[in-house]
Structure 1
């Protein structure tokens, strides 16, 4: 076949143009799908965090002064080496009484302490004991030291994710798990009550299907205690 100007018509060129157009359209569609997927993933934790719960509300005026909800964890806490730390003052010592702790994060308890009667785990799909309490809060909400003490462990637990342990007086240890970072403090640091030590994360493998929260434990002489008995 020839055109009026005598040039031969080459159908392959038209087919190549159409193929290129289809390829561009396919690439655009894939990009739109990827953008939508990223948006959905980023929005999921915030949607989960807004679900209603009927647990114990640990938000109070004193805690609001200690913790700034939703504020990103952006800088390291100023601390001192434990070798330079003096003895606790009389006001910090409560001999014969349970030490006064504050809630390490402002939020609602969505899973209670349960060592005698197992409770259901959505992630494990079975009933298990629960050695602490889960306090729901948005991702990266600041987590504070519940009481003054010395940081004795900073590690990643196989079940509970990034974990920090602080040793207090009277044989008490507070443990903070499912954290977002372990870069803010080091073992041996001395912290005051209310010092920011990390943020709420999603690192706990055994609680990964739960809404964003802090897993908080208190131990006395190696035995798990109900944290709500110590939080003032």
Structure 2
């Protein structure tokens, strides 16, 4: 009898334990399921990253700079290239000191090589261009300017010096007279300043001519680069 009662007691304990186990298992299942649902909902609620106003402004600025750069390159490509030599020649347009139909070059400018001087019977440099013309032929200013000196040179005779713009100075020597102009006079291009003479001691054995020199910023220039006969 006691054994039967003990067995029943054990069965009751086993049933209670089994029930507790089932309850624990069910509780765990519901807890896990709730956690899974919570994680899923949280994932769906995560906000999508959007550009801030600062980012948008930065992109707009970059785009604008790119467009401006393209426009700048197009503008640079369309700018014409200026030939400085042509521009300089145009801005310093000189006329002939003696009309083309009345004069011709008889001796060239030569400062790099000595040439023969028939009057002195020796080879020497020549700082100007000799333009042969009949005595009394009009000598004209090659450009607008101011007469800054009139004198008689020991080598090249009566000389008139005209200062022009852009650092140019023209010199007219072997003239017949210094009475047609005065120092300080303002002259126009093509204005007669004197006549061809024969006052140059260094070139007195040569045909009558104008000894013409041109300087730029104090340095001698080859007149043939500026006036053509």
Distance in 2 between residues matched to 1:200 and 1:214, nearest whole Å = 6
Structure showing greater Rg: 2
Residue aligning to 1:150? 146
Which of 216, 219, 224 is 1:223 aligned to?
219
- Partners of 2:96 and 2:222 in 1: how far apart? 13
Matches within 5 A, 1:1-232: 97-98=88-89, 99-106=92-99, 107-231=103-227
Higher relative contact order by CA 8 Å / sep ≥ 6: 1 or 2? 1
* Partner SS, residue 170 of structure 1: helix
Give the distance between the partners of 1:96 and 1:188, measured in 2 at CA. Answer: 30
Deviations 1:149-208 (A, max 9, x none): 000000100110000000001110000000000001111000000000000000000000
Shift, 1:222, TM fit = 1.1
Post-superposition offset of 1:221: 1.0
In the alignment, the residues of structure 2 paired with residue 149 and residue 212 of structure 1 have an alpha-carbon distance, to the nearest angstrom, of 26
Give a deviation string over 1:98-139, Cα, whole Å, max 9, x none. Answer: 311111013110100000011100001111111110000000
SS of 2:180's equivalent in the other structure is coil
Structure 2: 5+ residue stretches without partners: 1-84
2:96 and 2:121 map into 1 onto residues whose CA distance is 28
Distance 1:108 1:156 in 2: 24
Work out the number of aligned pairs and report it. Answer: 139
Q: TM-score, normalised by structure 1?
A: 0.58
RMSD over aligned Cα atoms: 1.5
Q: Quote the Cα distance in structure 2 between the aligned partners of 1:212 and 1:198.
A: 14
The offset of 1:96, in angstroms, is 5.5
* Runs of 4+ with deviation above 3 angstroms: none
**Shift of residue 95 of structure 1?**
10
**TM-score, scaled relative to structure 2:** 0.59
Residues 73-118 of structure 1 show CA distances to partners (whole Å, capped at 9, x for unaligned) of xxxxxxxxxxxxxxxxxxxxx9950311111013110100000011
**Counterpart-to-counterpart distance in 1, 2:94 and 2:118:** 29
Output the CA distance in 2 between the equivalents of 1:202 and 1:100: 29
Q: Specify the SS of the correspondent of 1:183.
A: coil
